Structure 1
Amino acid sequence: MATSVRELSNERKSALTAGTLLIIMALAAFFSYGFVHRSLVMEGDASTTFNNILSSNGLFDAEILGWIIILIEQIQSLMMLFLEAFEFIWSIGLIFFGGHLLIVGYVALKSDSIPKVISILLLLASIGYIVIHLSKTFLSQYDGVIAILNLVFAIPMIAGELGFGIWLLLRGAKLLKRA
């Protein structure tokens, strides 16, 4: 599939951001550890180290600032990693939810009291969840196809779930009272 201009633009922005942050992190690490830390900390001599820190308080503060800059950059990277992991885990969960809807839709279809339209919508929704999220998980390079699948299955997903929920609230409770 062809790469769109928008994708190239996003990749370019990501590359520029990553490159800029990597350079900032490297400079901060060089300054904090390579220059300041080595100037202040004397291996095996706590007294000299303590006196160096006291006499060069501003330099010590600059070292701490350098480590904070590195920490912020690392937190940003970790945050993106966790967000991407969340998206992946969420898709896996929705595959299982699609399996759940498949069972619920099948049971609803076999039931005499649940409208067949709701049962069919639940079955279509289950197929939608499974196909869309298997595609997101294993075929993520086909974003265009996944977007079309989302559009195709949006109505059965919404109508099936909401319809079944509303039916349970309005009719399901009455059926339980009669039984």
Structure 2
Amino acid sequence: MMSNKRKMAIISGLALIAMALAAGYAYGYVYGGLIDMKSPQDTYRNLQSSGTLFRNGMVAWGAIVVLDLLVAGSLHGFLKEVHFRLSVLTALIRVLYAFILLAAVVHLVDAISLVEAAAGATEVMLALQRFETIWSQGLILFGFHLLGLGLLVIRDSRIPSIFGWLLLFAGCCYTGIHMAKFGLPDHAQQIEITEMIASLPMAFAEIGFAFWLLFRAGRQRFSPPFTALS
């Protein structure tokens, strides 16, 4: 019979992989293909001609929010024996991030509603800017979630420590990059380059961990980590 820990690992792995696919569609394909913050008129025309695609992207954003909540709970179930309080805190941070993301997505709904109401391009772009600002603020918090997750992974002798270090790296990148976007607006180009360079290891941190959870985690008997967080 499959153990509860194995079930939590499979749920976490599947949800993380599904989330990556949904994010690739919602942000990489739909948002990236239709929205150009430097060209309001092109963006406005794209939304006029591809409203259905944009709405499909919003459905994917909604799925991401639900998956974030699912991951928060299932990873807590998998890692709570490592350090219960840190696991709870890490899960709660991801839950809070999910609700911030949901608040950001509301402004995507506003943007397409403004297009349908024949509002000006300026109003539409303001709605899109609010989405990006709120989401970026949420990603600062998401970085702290990954830091907590990385610490838990490193402390768990069942999990290859490389995933813990990658999660710590990704957490530092998310928090640092998005704090810099607010604190250092005059260095936007340098921040963008840094984000592009760091994006591959940032993505691999969660995706690599997701595949390990799906195919390897929970098959061993649990043994407490050799050290414990106080």
The TM-score, its normalising length taken from structure 1, stands at: 0.55
> How much has 1:149 moved relative to structure 2?
1.6
Separation in 1, partners of 2:170, 2:213: 17
Q: Which residue does 1:146 correspond to in 2?
A: 191
Q: Which has the higher helix share?
A: 1
Query: Does the Cα contact within 8 Å between 1:106 and 1:123 map onto a contact in 2?
Result: yes
1:37-52 to structure 2, matched below 5 A, reads: none
- 2:167 equivalent to 1:131: no
1:25-63 deviations in whole A, cap 9, x for unaligned?
xxxxxxxxxxxxxxxxxxxxxxxxxxxxxxxxxxxxxxx
Q: Which residue does 1:58 correspond to in 2?
A: none
Larger Rg: 1
Letter in 1 for 2:158: S
> How much has 1:75 moved relative to structure 2?
4.1
Counterpart secondary structure, 2:181: helix
Counterpart secondary structure, 2:158: coil
Separation in 2, partners of 1:162, 1:127: 17
Letter in 1 for 2:131: F
5+ residue gaps, structure 2, are: 1-36, 42-116, 223-230
1:132-156 deviations in whole A, cap 9, x for unaligned?
1111222222122112221332222
Separation in 1, partners of 2:120, 2:197: 38
Q: 1:105 aligns with which of 146, 150, 161?
A: 150
User: What is the alpha-carbon root mean square deviation over aligned residues?
Assistant: 2.3
> How much has 1:165 moved relative to structure 2?
0.7
Query: Does the Cα contact within 8 Å between 1:99 and 1:126 map onto a contact in 2?
Result: yes
Runs of 4+ more than 3 Å apart: none
Q: Which residue does 2:219 correspond to in 1?
A: 174
- Between 1 and 2, higher relative CO (CA 8 Å, sep ≥ 6) is seen in 2
Query: Does the Cα contact within 8 Å between 1:124 and 1:153 map onto a contact in 2?
Result: no
> Which range moves more in the overlay, 137-146 or 98-107?
137-146
Q: Which residue does 1:164 correspond to in 2?
A: 209
Letter in 1 for 2:145: H
- Aligned-pair identity in percent equals 36
Counterpart secondary structure, 1:172: coil
